[in-house]
Amino acid sequence: MLSDNMKFLVIDDFSNMREYVKNLLKEIGCLNVDEAEDGLVALQKLRTGKFDFVISSWRMPSMDGLTMLQNIRAIAELRNIPILMVVAEINKKHIVDAVQAGANGFLAKPFTAPILLEKLNLIAKNNKSSASA
C-alpha cells in the first residue's frame, strides 16, 4: 500500500492543522511531507515538484479545496494523483461535488493516525486497481 518514500502535500489554511496532519503522517511512517496554505500555493508546488499523494482541506482562502481539485484533474501530469479531502463536517453536497470533481476519499476532522492510515491505504489500493485496469 503506502511506501516510506511517498511524498505527501498537505494543504490547509491553518498551520496547526497542517502540523497535526504532518505529525500523524510521521506516526504512520510517512516522513516526506511538504505543505501549502491554500489551493493556489498547492498548485504551484504540484506543478514544480513530484508528489504521490495530496491531503487537502475543503475550506481555504484564495482557492478552496474543490476548485483546487478541479484544477488538478484538468492538468494531464497531475490528473492521477490521489487526493484525500479533509472536511470539518460530512456534507452530502460536498461529497457529491468532490466525487464528481475526482476526489479519491473523504475524512472528517478530527481523525487519528490509524484512521488516516486506513483511509490512505484504501485510496492507494483503489488508485492502483484503477491505474492497472
pLDDT digits (tens, 9 = 90+) for 61-114: 889 999 999 999 999 999 999 999 998 887 888 888 888 999 999 999 899 999
Statement: residue 128 has pLDDT above 90: no
Which cell numbers hold the place of 125? Answer: 489500493
Q: Is 34 exposed, middle or buried (CB count within 10 Å of its CB: 0-12, 13-18, 19+)?
A: middle
8 Å CB contact between 32 and 6: yes
Give the C-alpha separation, 106 to 94, whole Å.
10
What's the pLDDT tens digit per position in 15-40? 999 999 999 999 999 999 999 999 99
Question: What's the grid cell of residue 67?
Answer: 476548485
Q: Classify residue 61 by its DSSP letter.
A: S
SS3 39: helix
CATH code of the region 8-131: 3.40.50.2300
What is the domain partition of the chain in residue ranges?
A: 8-131
